[in-house]
Chains A and B, each alone.
Chain A
Amino acid sequence: DVKVTQSSRYLVKRTGEKVFLECVQDMDHENMFWYRQDPGLGLRLIYFSYDVKMKEKGDIPEGYSVSREKKERFSLILESASTNQTSMYLCASSLYRVNSGEQFFGPGTRLTVL
């Protein structure tokens, strides 16, 4: 079974803090993704990566950066957290670079920025 894990289920941070969200997958997948989910707006892609050290902007990259130093790990970084970044963050992975196949999601991190 594919397993995607995220470092925290719940996180509370203060405005201006630097925040790291970690995601690890155990199935040697090429692609990894970060989405956020907000009521009324659905799930939206922030960034994705198709290889180590490679990244592509998604639909809403502003205020975020990412890091992929190892194939199995994809980190989302909020350089200076703001209250409008309070959200549910979901990490996903898929096997292939192109026509990527089934995506598998982690359990999510509920981030609150005060």
Chain B
Amino acid sequence: GIQVEQSPPDLILQEGANSTLRCNFSDSVNNLQWFHQNPWGQLINLFYIPSGTKQNGRLSATTVATERYSLLYISSSQTTDSGVYFCAVEHGFGNEKLTFGTGTRLTIIP
């Protein structure tokens, strides 16, 4: 099956700092999503980005499908950005499940 790796596994930053989270995947994908899991466990959709670049406020994402990676940028971090960020991909035909990476745990210190 497809492998999805995220780096770094853990990241601790001061409030106001910028960060870049990376997602590498081992095969072509139909779909790539970034999620933020809040402290209560809910997965919040950040981006649906199989290719290209998108921005939403302080967050932006880029997927380079030909090179099999995606990046999530968080600028001017706030304490509410803390949590686990997951990259997930949909791969193959007739296989609509998402395969998740192991996540990056982000901690923003005031």
Query: Using a CB–CB distance below 8 Å, which chain A residues touch chain B?
Result: 9, 31, 33, 37, 42-43, 45, 48, 50, 58-59, 88, 90, 92, 94, 97-108, 110
Q: A42-B102, A99-B30, A102-B48 are in contact. Are A33 and B97 (CB under 8 A)?
A: yes
Q: List residues 44-74 of chain B with CB under 8 A from any CB of chain A.
A: 45, 48
Identify the B interface with A (CB < 8 A).
Answer: 30-31, 33, 35, 40-43, 45, 48, 86, 88, 90, 93-94, 96-98, 100-103
Chain B residues within 8 Å of A33, by CB: 97-98
**Cβ-neighbour of B98 out of A88, A103, A108 (below 8 A):** A103
CA of A99 to CA of B94 in the docked complex: distance in angstroms? 8
Q: Which residue of A lies closest to B30 (CB)?
A: A99
Residues in chain B near residue A99, CB distance under 8 A: 30-31, 90, 96
Bound form: Cα–Cα A94–B95 in Å: 13
B41 touches A31 (CB 8 A): no
